[in-house]
């Protein structure tokens, strides 16, 4: 449990850093609007500064997915922090609005990349019975950092706030460097021995831990069998037929009252043309009724 908490500490520090980045404009914009500020920011540039983070978040989302798959959870977590550190450094030394916007954009890359990687880390590195508490702690760290950043903005210069906000990210880099790689990702790569070593580092070598690792091996084996892609056209057709006849596909279609005793075309017409919406909202508009046809019978049998 102690080593699992050590792993999660890095994710909590990143969430703390996310809160700092999200709330930093509350400290920066009023300071730059002051007449004595060497960097002037009007409403237009303030809007660009605030929204540039969203652009960076798009890149963070894309890169996080790639890094998690190709390089592993540990490396992805390390790389996701670097844009945040660079962003704060640029903001601290900024002499114009353009540099501030670039720093904010890099902060957006960190926010989304770290958020996604952090969810994966908590899910794969911790025991199931502790995950709920740890996810709650991630939320708490975000809220606490948001409050703290607002308070620092009232007490310190915005450059000092940027410098302080760099500390949790650097600490997270140090903690992450001491991790092993995720056992689940190592199993995906076929590195069973390294996966076993990493699992024992996290959970110990007791009987319960051994049972959990064997269950992980079995689950990974079944996942590999279920995700094998058919190569020939015939195999692909058989694969599609098997999928369409599984109960996970057919049972919801049979159970829905809207689909009972209907053909597939009738089901499509029912939902696409609006009868489902009309039944749920009880639409009486003549134009809507003309579009969807006769009003359905709402009499209870």
Could you tell me which residues come within 8 angstroms of residue 272 by beta carbon, excluding any fewer than 6 positions away? none
pLDDT at 301 over 50: no
| Region 2-179: CATH code | 1.20.1250.20
- Of 179, 142, 168, 150, the C-alpha closest to 8 is 179
pLDDT in tens, 113-161: 999 999 899 888 888 788 888 888 988 999 999 999 999 999 999 999 9
* Distant-in-sequence, close-in-space partners of 274: CB < 8 Å, separation ≥ 6: 288, 291, 292
Long-range CB contact pairs, 121-125, < 8 A, 24+: 121/7, 121/8, 121/10, 121/11, 121/73, 121/77, 121/182, 122/8, 122/11, 124/73, 124/182, 124/183, 124/184, 124/185, 125/4, 125/7, 125/8, 125/73, 125/179, 125/182, 125/202
- pLDDT tens per residue, range 59-106: 999 999 889 989 999 999 999 999 999 999 999 999 999 999 999 999
Contact 145, 137 (CB under 8 A): no
Q: What element of type H or E holds 242?
A: helix 233-245
Whole-number pLDDT of residue 5: 83
State the Cα–Cα distance between residues 241 and 246, nearest whole angstrom: 9
pLDDT of residue 232: 66
- For the chain, the structural domain boundaries read 2-179, 187-226, 240-292
Question: At 295, is the pLDDT very low, low, confident or very high (cuts 50, 70, 90)?
Answer: very low
State the pLDDT at residue 246.
62
Q: Give residue-wise pLDDT tens across range 235-294.
A: 667 666 666 666 555 554 454 555 555 655 555 555 455 444 444 444 455 544 544 444
* pLDDT at 218 (0 to 100): 73
């Amino acid at each position: 449990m102690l080593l699992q908490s050590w792993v999660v500490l890095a994710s909590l520090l990143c969430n703390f850093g996310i809160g700092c980045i999200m709330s930093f404009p509350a400290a920066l914009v009023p300071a730059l609007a002051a007449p004595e500020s060497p960097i002037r920011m009007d409403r237009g540039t303030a809007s660009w500064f605030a929204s540039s983070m969203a652009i960076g978040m798009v890149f963070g989302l894309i890169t996080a997915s790639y890094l998690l798959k190709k390089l592993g959870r540990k490396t992805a977590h390390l790389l996701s922090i670097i844009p945040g550190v660079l962003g704060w450094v640029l903001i601290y030394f900024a002499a114009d609005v353009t540099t501030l916007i670039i720093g904010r954009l890099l902060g957006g890359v960190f926010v989304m990349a770290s958020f996604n990687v952090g969810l994966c880390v908590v899910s794969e590195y911790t025991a199931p019975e502790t995950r709920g508490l740890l996810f709650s702690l991630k939320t708490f760290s975000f809220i606490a950092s948001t409050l703290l950043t607002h308070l620092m903005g009232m007490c310190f210069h915005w450059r000092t706030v940027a410098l302080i906000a760099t500390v949790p990210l650097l600490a997270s880099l140090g903690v992450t460097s001491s991790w092993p790689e995720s056992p689940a990702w190592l199993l995906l790569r076929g590195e069973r021995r390294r996966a076993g070593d990493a699992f024992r580092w996290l959970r110990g070598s007791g009987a319960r831990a051994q049972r959990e690792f064997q269950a992980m091996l079995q689950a990974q084996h079944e996942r590999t069998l279920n995700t094998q892609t058919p190569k020939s056209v015939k195999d692909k057709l058989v694969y599609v037929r098997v999928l369409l006849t599984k109960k996970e596909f057919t049972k919801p279609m049979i159970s829905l009252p809207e689909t009972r005793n209907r053909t597939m075309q009738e089901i499509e017409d029912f939902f696409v043309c609006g009868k489902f919406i009309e039944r749920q909202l009880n639409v009486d508009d003549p134009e809507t009724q003309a579009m969807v046809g006769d009003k359905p019978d709402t009499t209870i049998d």
